[in-house]
Homo-oligomer: A and B are copies of this chain.
């Protein structure tokens, strides 16, 4: 893609109404545009990142047997009434011309359970797993953290259906492993954190927390092993079952490995819930056992914040000059800069661009007629993993630099193509 032809441009200054680093950098770089508090449009580069993240999530969900579908944004009141969730304050609500009351989907257990009634009748129909990658809505009173807390945001939500609690437990662990893969592929260290289950379960649920000063959750985690607990369950009256007990605090000894417990802040990028029969009871979702008995289907639900992940990647990987995308999420792999405008430099840069394109490499070509300093500054701001410079000085070669390193090296076109 030629930078001279792009719809967006970079901006020198961050918008005054943004506090969070992710919103400042993503806006300056032209990845997103704020339409209202917590409501962001994804401009072309931002959408490319969203699609990269979505495809990684999609692949891992397909691998564990998930089938992709797409539920609706408009969900009539009758669905929420069935589960007694119409009064949830964060749900946007409205009335249609014909007088129906509807909520905007902020989670989809209700229509999902209702749909499952149509297709799950017998133990032979179980287990099943379905997921979607869709826009969700929450009327958040405070939406000041850019993509970390949106009122309109992208989420992956997976729902699983089982004949028994035991089968759910096994699949729950399968999902945890798949989530670990997703975050590893995005170069994120997400701590599997024990948390309370809210009103629906007496067991622990698990959150995937990425350590960051911007995180809203306080965690106690082990500096040695992978133990991590949400502070909110540190001292409950009745600690949830199935975890490592409650009561750890900073300085304590890790109940798992004996290491030292530290306190930190985390951004919750995913979570997994054992719903049990909460929603199958609400919708009378039953199946016939081998023995001919009717039993409630046992459900699980599992979320990953797609747009929140984009914001998290910026919070975790940036420096004072701009963003630093890992290759898996980057809008492009290579940022090719033409420095100087002599005929030979132009020709050489065009040639490198065409060769990279032909090789199927995702490359952004800065062919603009602007000063070199501006091109270098923009490259640092956009944060594409590899910067390739063609100038009078590079001759036949190309100067290659990783965004996360200082050193540069002169490489041949062949080497660049093989990268």
A residues neighboring B (CB under 8 Å): 5-9, 30, 33, 35-36, 39-44, 46-47, 50, 65, 67-76, 79, 89, 92-94, 96-98, 100, 102, 104, 111, 115, 118-119, 128, 130, 135, 137, 139, 141, 151-152
Of B73, B111, B130, the residue contacting A44 (CB under 8 A) is B130
Q: How far is the CA of A73 from the CA of B75 in the complex (A)?
A: 15
Q: How far is the CA of A69 from the CA of B7 in the complex (A)?
A: 10
Main secondary structure, interface of A, reads mixed
Q: How far is the CA of A70 from the CA of B42 in the complex (A)?
A: 5
Given A7-B67, A74-B152, A96-B139, 7 additional A-B pairs, CB 8 A: A33-B115, A35-B79, A42-B69, A73-B137, A74-B151, A92-B94, A97-B141
> Which residues of B lie under 8 Å from residue A30 when comparing CB positions?
119
Nearest CB in chain B to that of A93: its residue: B94
Q: How far is the CA of A69 from the CA of B97 in the complex (A)?
A: 30
> Which residues of B lie under 8 Å from residue A141 when comparing CB positions?
97-98
Nearest CB in chain B to that of A92: its residue: B94
Nearest CB of chain B from residue A306's CB, rounded to whole Å: 12
> Which residues of B lie under 8 Å from residue A67 when comparing CB positions?
6-7, 44
Q: How far is the CA of A39 from the CA of B98 in the complex (A)?
A: 14
> Which residues of B lie under 8 Å from residue A43 when comparing CB positions?
69, 115
Contact A69 B44 (CB under 8 A): yes
> Which residues of B lie under 8 Å from residue A40 when comparing CB positions?
72
